[in-house]
Amino acid sequence: MYDETRTLKDRREMLKVKVKSLAEEARIIRREERKARHGLRWELHDHRAGTLRAEARATHIAYAMIRGRTLYQIECCARLPRPATLWERVRAMIKKYGPTNPLLNATLLEACCDANDR
């Protein structure tokens, strides 16, 4: 996203594309699960329900935080505490796609934890 002086503010559009890609991948895997048989069906299901879902959740949280949403606005009724691996992925995405301003980036990275962890 660019500000009024046309300088790069953050790369949230890239995360938006990633969110859409992960959603489409889940749809494709679900469709293929129906066609598959036996062991392959469960492998596809485990990939979709485990790996893919966790990555989509982390991407969604990072994208929303970069857009200025609070954690409560993103997941008001989430399972607590959120796993440390989730926060590692969120921090990595914020570092990569977050604000180019180091102070804003540091503020977002500091917010990457549950309220009771602070």
**Structural domain boundaries enclosing 36:** 12-117
CA dihedral 117, 12, 31, 79 (to 10 degrees): 10
- pLDDT (mean) for 99-108: 86
Q: Is residue 3 part of a domain?
A: no
- pLDDT (mean) for 37-42: 91
pTM of the model: 0.85
Query: How many domains are there within the chain?
Result: 1
Q: Is residue 1 part of a domain?
A: no
- Amino acid 117: pLDDT: 62
| 55 vs 103, residue with greater confidence | 55
3-state SS of 56-73 is HHHHHHHHHHHCCCCHHH
pLDDT band at 21 (very low <50, low <70, confident <90, very high): very high
Q: In sequence order, what are the residues at sequence separation of 6 or more whose Cβ sits closer than 8 angstroms to the Cβ of residue 94?
A: 62, 65, 66, 105, 108, 109, 112
- pLDDT (mean) for 19-43: 94
Does residue 107 surpass a pLDDT of 80? yes
